[in-house]
């Protein structure tokens, strides 16, 4: 990012880069639309209990793997379209945020387990908890193919779309409606409260862990002021969480 003191533009930049690189050049396309696509398709994913929109539409549980594949593919398509706007704005990765992300998997699992076992708070995040080894039985090839797909979504797609939505859009939007004029990583009381509400609202069944994790991620954004560092830290946590889930059969965490 540049360090010029020139004022930020009042409208999204189009053909030329702004003097101050608040970016990305197409902010709605880059920061909002991929997350909306990911969330909307997720509404169609069926659970074993037949809950939610998928249950009301009669979508069978066996359709979960192909629908998840569709969710990942279409979201990747949205990111591909937006990538020219995103690419030059992410910044150069700093070495230490992924290490912090890896370390954060420990409090995430520990606090989530304590909350689940102690019934501190209850809530349904809408997670399916799909166990491919149970679903596919002896067909281990299909089970591992699904796990590869799940890791693509967990450690690549989700970190990009959620960080762009939360930290590049929402946490700047609460400061100023023209969010593209707000420097990435800006922090005030409105940002802190919004981040906390988002953490609990999006992860009610792991609310305590989410509050800790999202607070640290916001601190990383404030420290480095680069979107790529939040994405790499998020990806590291999610990858480590996926490894833990597969190793311990704790599919309720996904």
pLDDT per residue as tens digits for the range 89-115: 899 999 999 999 999 999 999 999 998
- Is residue 5 pLDDT above 50, yes or no? no
Q: Are 204 and 184 in contact (CB under 8 A)?
A: no
Question: pLDDT band at residue 48, thresholds of 50, 70 and 90?
Answer: confident
Burial of 175 (0-12, 13-18, 19+ CB in 10 A): middle
CB 48 within 8 A of CB 59: no
Of 187, 199, 196, nearest to 223 by C-alpha is 187
Q: What is the rounded average pLDDT of the residues 12-34?
A: 70
Q: Average per-residue pLDDT in the chain? A: 89
Q: What is the mean pLDDT of residues 9-18?
A: 48
Within 10 A of 168 (CB to CB), how many other CB atoms are there?
A: 29
Among candidates 212, 174, 176, which has minimal Cα distance to 194? 174
Q: Which of 94, 130, 108 is nearest to 226 (CA)?
A: 94
Average pLDDT over residues 242-254: 95
Residue 122: what pLDDT?
A: 57
* pLDDT of the residue at 125: 52
Structure confidence at residue 8 (pLDDT):
52
Q: Average pLDDT, stretch 193-218?
A: 94
Q: Using CA atoms, how far apart are residues 1 and 22, in angstroms rounded to an integer?
A: 8
């Amino acid at each position: 990012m540049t360090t010029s003191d020139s004022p930020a533009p009042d409208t999204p930049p189009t053909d030329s880069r702004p003097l101050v690189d608040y970016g990305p050049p197409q902010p709605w396309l880059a920061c909002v639309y991929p997350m909306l696509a990911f969330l909307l398709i997720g509404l169609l994913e069926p659970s074993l209990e037949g809950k939610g929109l998928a249950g009301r539409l009669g979508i069978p549980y066996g359709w979960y793997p192909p629908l998840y594949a569709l969710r990942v593919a279409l979201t990747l398509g949205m990111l591909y379209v937006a990538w020219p706007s995103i690419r030059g704005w992410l910044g150069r990765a700093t070495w230490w945020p992924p290490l912090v992300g890896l370390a954060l998997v420990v409090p995430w699992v520990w606090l989530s387990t304590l909350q689940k076992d102690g019934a501190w708070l209850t809530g349904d995040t809408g997670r399916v908890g799909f166990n491919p080894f149970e679903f596919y039985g002896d067909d281990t090839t299909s089970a591992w193919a699904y796990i590869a797909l799940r890791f693509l979504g967990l450690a690549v797609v989700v970190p990009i779309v959620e960080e762009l939505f939360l930290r590049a859009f929402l946490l700047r939007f609460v400061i100023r409606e023209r969010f593209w004029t707000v420097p990435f990583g800006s922090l005030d009381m409105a940002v802190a409260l919004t981040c906390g509400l988002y953490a609990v609202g999006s992860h009610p069944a792991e609310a305590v862990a989410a509050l800790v994790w999202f607070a640290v991620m916001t601190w990383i954004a404030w420290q480095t002021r680069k979107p790529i560092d939040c994405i790499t830290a998020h990806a590291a946590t999610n990858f480590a969480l996926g490894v833990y889930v597969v190793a311990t059969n704790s599919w309720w965490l996904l």
